[in-house]
Amino acid sequence: MKVILLQNVDKIGKRGEIKEVSPGYFRNFLIPRNLAILATDEAIFDLEKRKKSGVEKVAKEEKKFQKIVKKINGLEILIKTKAGEEGKLYGSVTKGDIVARIKEKGFEMESDFVILDQPIKKIGNYTIVIKLKHGKQAKIYLKVQGE
């Protein structure tokens, strides 16, 4: 019996795949847990349609992120904060601070996109990597100054 998996099922397959299973397994395990549906011609047509629209959506999203990379690559950001002697900051510059400055420049950004090993605690110039979805990356330049 051919079924379309609605969820990933161990030892059977991944979501969206068409698999051959026994009628008892389908009736007693997959249906009660809403893990699969019968692979009728109509269901297969709907699955192909959803896959096609998903591919188009991913391509559209990828173009969007490519445009963002072109715009923010090389962007310079200045953050002024209180600092003590020897250039040590009283607080630290975090991902949230960097994202706030990027948003002030007019770019939509999530803090997960900013790659920062640890908060910045000294005055200086830094190169920050922004990793967007679909493997797109940009570098921005951060200058931290004391007040």
7: domain CATH number? 3.40.5.10
- Tens digits of pLDDT across the chain (147 residues): 999 999 999 999 998 899 999 999 999 999 999 999 999 999 989 888 888 888 888 888 888 888 888 888 888 999 998 988 888 888 889 999 999 998 898 888 888 888 888 889 999 999 999 988 778 889 999 999 988
Same domain, 75 and 140: yes
Same domain, 51 and 79: no
Confidence (pLDDT) at 76: 92
| Domains of the chain: total | 2
Q: pTM score, two decimals?
A: 0.61
* Residue 19, CA atoms < 13 Å, CB-side half-sphere: 22
Residues 6+ positions from 107 with CB-CB distance below 8 Å? 68, 71, 72, 75
> Considering 59, 77, 100, which residue would you say is the last residue of a domain?
59
Confidence (pLDDT) at 12: 92
Confidence (pLDDT) at 24: 95
Sign of CA pseudo-dihedral 11, 13, 15, 18? negative
Confidence (pLDDT) at 68: 83
Q: Tell me if 136 sits within 8 A of 65, measured CB to CB.
A: yes
The whole domain housing 24 covers 2-59
Instruction: Give which of 19, 48, 53, 51 is closest to 36, Cα–Cα.
Output: 19
Same domain, 32 and 85: no
